[in-house]
Chains A and B, each alone.
Chain A
Amino acid sequence: MTVVTHSTRPRRAAYVPSADLVKDVLAGRAIAIARMISRAEEGYPEAAAALAELYRHGGKAHVIGITGVPGAGKSTLVSALIKAYAAEGRKVGVIAVDPSSPYSGGAILGDRVRMSETAAAGGAFVRSMATRGHLGGLTRATLQAVDVLDAAGYDPVIIETVGVGQDEVEVVTAAHTVVVLSAPGLGDDIQAIKAGILEIADIHAVSKCDKPEAAATVSALRGMLALGGERPGSRRAPPVLPVSAVSGERIGELKDAIGAHWAHLNESGERVERQRAMGRTRILGTARHLFQQKFQEAPETLERQIRAVAERRMDPAVAARALLGWEETP
């Protein structure tokens, strides 16, 4: 028979109240920071007050979103940026989001593989997160995780998300500076157009410029942007920068472009607008999530409405309004 051999000293650990973690988060202690992020992710009501306090301490970090199709080179680029910022003495926080399996709810989070060396050397804090497939929940949890890293003194804080899926795009758009990364040789010229994320870029980067095909992707992108493609509300045309995270080529230029965008936001007053947009996204995302939760708290009611709609005794719009308590259930 196959048996597992166990230690005779079973481990126990106590639940540390979130209120007690706040001080350690502010002091930059990794265990407390990591735990606080988990509690944000799990949505423990017990953590709400602590997260609110951390939110008040935040607002200092430059939040950078990096998005692009899987395989574009996002994680490798983040790794190169960690190194570039570390050379200036800046400690980078990273939230790397990967999809959860729709079947099991589990996930394999592999972004860290590409970042581990620079993260260790550069004093970065890298946290992998799964999308967990809940409406609005990803936005809420990811941006609360950013708050925690911000309060702990990490600056900049980088969010890596795959540029597909409404929630993933919503999260990255809540950053101060959005970098859309396209890769040469991934099948079609401009992946950003296909994914519908051309307009969310403050900066376009083209990865793998150590490869000869990169030049074609850069010119295709420039040509496309000449026809318009600025971010709505932005008063600045997005630059197109080829980079190689592998050779390190032009990573400094990208870092400078990110810095220049931050300076532009601060000088032009656009930062205030961005902050407002961020607030809007967060409130609406959380509200959407709360609705979802409310429905799940009364599964029988929802089940009754579903049956009625399926049997065409009620129409979906009336059922939805009834769920929200805006209309009498007939």
Chain B
Amino acid sequence: MRDANLAGESLSTGPAEAPDTIRVLVAKLGLDGHDRGAKVVARILRDAGMEVVYTGLYKTPKDVVQAAIQEDVDVIGVSLLSGSHVPLFRELGRCLREEGAGHILVVAGGVIPEQDYPALLEGGVDAIVPQEARSDLIVTTITDLVTARGRI
């Protein structure tokens, strides 16, 4: 599959086409030590054929944006269970715009009450995955977003 792509026959760069390999940065922001969910998500995405870079705990939005740029990921998947999601996602969105990295998609997961959804979307989050989502929904959310954005 991958080697067939490497043969170059697949470079028909239609706008609605996903890259050959989707790369995702799974990140934890701020003072949030809950890392089980992030690790589960990393494994789900790997098992779906994606390359997942894991940042580790306690990162600032600035660190995460810098890592996402260097790793050239398609998506930053942030897992937040600390309750500080509104300011952290707003800052993440701001850093992305400041660095000219508006092509990187942002997906949020963890413990996020519905009343905060509008604030996150306003801050630049592309999709919010509810806590009870099953693995196939997590995978298709990311694949669909990247496909819609197109190859970069």
Contact = CB atoms under 8 A, between A and B. Distances in A.
A11 to B, nearest CB: 5
A35 B152 contact: yes
Contacts of A101: 46-47
Contacts of A109: 51-54
B54 A113 contact: yes
B119 interface: no
B107 to A, nearest CB: 9
Given A35-B72, A293-B3, A130 B51 contact: yes
Interface in A12-30: 12-16, 30
B9 A297 contact: yes
A105 B49 contact: yes
25 contacts: A4-B130, A5-B130, A7-B125, A8-B121, A11-B102, A15-B151, A30-B69, A34-B72, A35-B72, A41-B21, A42-B5, A42-B6, A45-B11, A105-B21, A106-B50, A109-B54, A110-B54, A112-B55, A127-B72, A128-B51, A128-B53, A292-B3, A293-B3, A293-B7, A296-B4
B54 A127 contact: no
A11 B69 CA distance: 17
Interface residues of A, number: 55
B105 to A, nearest CB: 6
A126 B70 contact: yes
A271 interface: no
Given A2-B137, A11-B149, A105 B1 contact: yes
A104 B48 contact: yes
Interface residues of B, number: 64
Interface string A102-127: 01111111101100100010000111
Contacts of A15: 13, 150-152
B152 to A, nearest CB: 5
B37 interface: no
B127 A106 contact: no
B36 interface: no
A11 B126 contact: yes
Interface string A29-45: 01101110110011111
Contact of B127 (A4, A30, A42, A132): A4
A107 B69 contact: no
B94 interface: no
